[in-house]
Amino acid sequence: MLIVKKFGGTSVADKERIMNVAKRCIRDYQEGNDVVVVLSAMGKQTDVLIDMAKDINPTPSKRELDMLLSTGEQTSVALMAMAMATFKIPAISLNAFQVAMHTTSAYGSARLKRIDTERIRHELDQRKIVIITGFQGVNKYDDVTTLGRGGSDTTAVALAAALHADTCEIFTDVDGVYTADPRIVKKARKLKEITYDEMLDLATLGAGVLHNRSVEMAKKYGVQLVVRSSLNEEEGTVVKEDVRVERMLVSGVAADRNVTRISLVGLKDVPGIAFKVFDVLGKANVNVDMILQSIGRHGTKDITFTVPGDASDDALGALEKNKDVLGYEELSINREVAKVSIVGAGMMSNPGVAAKMFEALYNSRININMISTSEIRVTVLIDVKEVDKAVNAIHDMFELED
Ligand code: ADP
Ligand code: ASP
Ligand code: MG
């Protein structure tokens, strides 16, 4: 079997944990499997590096930031190879350049385009454990890129797809995917299985346990994922196309604090305004999420929307630069908001699910700013200070507990 095993930051945070991971990988290797290991930076190292950068320069160039951040993963893989060597196991570490993992050129949010597998195959054929840096890639200028926070999951899934791996295991600091973040909701329940579609929505809506692109890619290439703990032997959660268990109405609640709300007040109520606003944002590479347009009155209207919190400065810059073209009277911004969402394939055929979520919020006296829905999810925008209370209230309302 060819096994891809990915370990997140907490799983390799110190010497003891690194040794623990080494042993786990060696076990599979000694059973005769080919083992490819993908690692994140140790502990909170990526945050430490970002702080170091911002201390020197509050607005570092994205290229140089990627150059810096990629060192975190490089540290982990080299130490892991050294750890395995202490057990007399042949192992080799490779960074994205050495593999070659080709990405688009967007620093900080690059997308994987193609992975060369020749070098990896060659090392596996020599019966080595191959340890690869997560999160990073190389663009057409031969510069280092990164895939966005949490991107090591995506590296692992992409490798599993490219190598036609038999399994792809994502090891983290919780036992699997839960009905809500177990750190916020004490009663959260571990899911045995979850579909790609539900997991993709949960991940996109803030359930940081998996990088959303990793789920997108797993679905596209049919890579079955197992999310489990590196600290124990619990079974974990399987992410796949179809699940056998009866569909729950709601399979999970997610929260995303990385949100900013922007309102453009006093726009002209004529055709083409929404196009202009979102075209400006699109060209500035800003993803817009929830959108609300008021009814036109006295020839003017307002448009309110949300953008990722870390893109809010880019959004502001673009909107202010184009103030004359867009013709708004006032721009207001609120960074103290968060999205809370419920996701479930069972929702499709059950009206009243949204009402039940709103009732839970009303019972907790939480005000809703904006609402958006799709077939399998409902999202509300609320005050960031109320997130924990909201998630728990909604979780209770749908009786998702253990
Ligand atoms: P890693 O460094 O291993 O990639 P992450 O911190 O990226 O770990 O992801 C694991 C964390 O995701 C957990 O510690 C947990 O707090 C959080 N999380 C958020 N939502 C969920 C969920 N629905 N199920 C499990 N964990 C979740
Ligand atoms: N080290 C990177 C981060 O902290 C990538 C990852 O952990 O997946 O975001
Ligand atoms: Mg992660």
286: tokens are 């800003």
* Position 323 confidence tier, pLDDT thresholds 50, 70, 90: very high
Residue 148 is which amino acid?
A: G
227 φ/ψ angles, rounded to the nearest 5 degrees: -105, 125
Residues with CB under 6 A from ligand 1: 8-11, 40, 150, 172-174, 177-178, 180-183, 207-209, 252
Query: Which ligand has the shortest distance to the CA of 69?
Result: 2
37 Cα: distance to centroid of ligand 3 (angstroms):
15
**Assigned domain for 268 exists:** no
**Assigned domain for 256 exists:** no
pLDDT for position 10: 97
22 Cα: distance to centroid of ligand 1 (angstroms):
22
Check pLDDT > 90 for residue 244.
Answer: no
pLDDT for position 5: 98
245 Cα: distance to centroid of ligand 1 (angstroms):
23
The arithmetic mean of pLDDT across residues 314-330, rounded, is 95
Check pLDDT > 90 for residue 248.
Answer: no
**Assigned domain for 250 exists:** no
Average pLDDT, the chain: 95
**Assigned domain for 282 exists:** no
pLDDT digits (tens, 9 = 90+) for 282-313: 999 899 999 999 998 889 999 999 999 989 99
**Assigned domain for 253 exists:** no
Residues with CB under 6 A from ligand 2: 8-9, 40-41, 46, 72, 134-135, 149-152
Task: Give the ligand 1 atom nearest the CA of 172.
Answer: 3
Higher pLDDT, 30 or 401: 30
Check pLDDT > 90 for residue 400.
Answer: no
Check pLDDT > 70 for residue 247.
Answer: no
Task: Give the ligand 2 atom nearest the CA of 149.
Answer: 9
The answer to whether residues 101 and 137 touch, using CB atoms and an 8 Å cutoff, is yes
Check pLDDT > 90 for residue 130.
Answer: yes
**Assigned domain for 151 exists:** yes
Give the environment of ion ligand 3: residues with CB less than 5 A: 8, 150
* Position 351 confidence tier, pLDDT thresholds 50, 70, 90: confident
Report the domain count for the chain: 1
Q: Which residues contact 191 (CB under 8 A, 6 or more apart)?
A: 176, 177, 178, 179, 237, 251, 252
89 Cα: distance to centroid of ligand 3 (angstroms):
27
The arithmetic mean of pLDDT across residues 20-48, rounded, is 98
Name the residue range of residue 20's domain: 2-173
257 Cα: distance to centroid of ligand 2 (angstroms):
17
**Assigned domain for 31 exists:** yes
Check pLDDT > 80 for residue 338.
Answer: yes
pLDDT for position 246: 63
The arithmetic mean of pLDDT across residues 88-98, rounded, is 98
**Assigned domain for 140 exists:** yes
Q: Which residues contact 59 (CB under 8 A, 6 or more apart)?
A: none
Beta strand extents in 86-232 (DSSP E only): 91-94, 101-103, 112-115, 129-133, 136-138, 144-146, 167-172, 193-195, 225-229
CATH number at residue 64: 3.40.1160.10
Check pLDDT > 80 for residue 245.
Answer: no
